[in-house]
Structure 1
Amino acid sequence: MAADGARLLRSILLSAALPACALCLASWSIETDRSTEDTHGLFEIREEARRFISQENAKGHQQWEVLEPNLKTLVPRCAAPLETQWTPKSLGLSKPSVTVICAAAVPNFVMKRWDVHVPVKRKLDRKDAGERL
Structure 2
Amino acid sequence: MLRSILLTIALSACAACLASWSIETDRSTPDKHGLFEIREEARRFIAQENAKRLEQWDVLEPNAKVLVPRCAVPLLAQWMPKSLGGSKASVTVICAAAVPNGVMKRWDVHVPVERKPARP
TM-score higher than 0.5 here? yes
1:107 alignment partner in structure 2: 100
Higher helix share: 1
Aligned-residue offset at 1:93: 1.2
Aligned-residue offset at 1:11: 1.3
1:42 alignment partner in structure 2: 35
Once the two structures are superposed, what CA deviation does each residue of 1:59-118 show, in whole Å capped at 9, x if it has no partner?
Answer: 132000000000000000000110110000111111100000000000000000000000
| Residue segments in structure 1 that go unaligned for 5+ positions in a row | 1-7, 128-133
Aligned-residue offset at 1:126: 1.4
TM-score normalised to structure 1 length:
0.88
**Size of the alignment, in residue pairs?**
120
Which of the residues 5, 10, 17 maps onto 2:10? Answer: 17
- The alignment's C-alpha RMSD in Å is 0.8
2:68 alignment partner in structure 1: 75
Which of the pair has more CA radius of gyration? 1
Q: Which 4+ runs in 1 deviate beyond 4 A?
A: none
Q: Structure 2 matches for 1:80-91, cutoff 5 A?
A: 80-91=73-84
Within the alignment, does 1:95 sit opposite 2:102 as a pair? no
Aligned-pair identity in percent equals 79
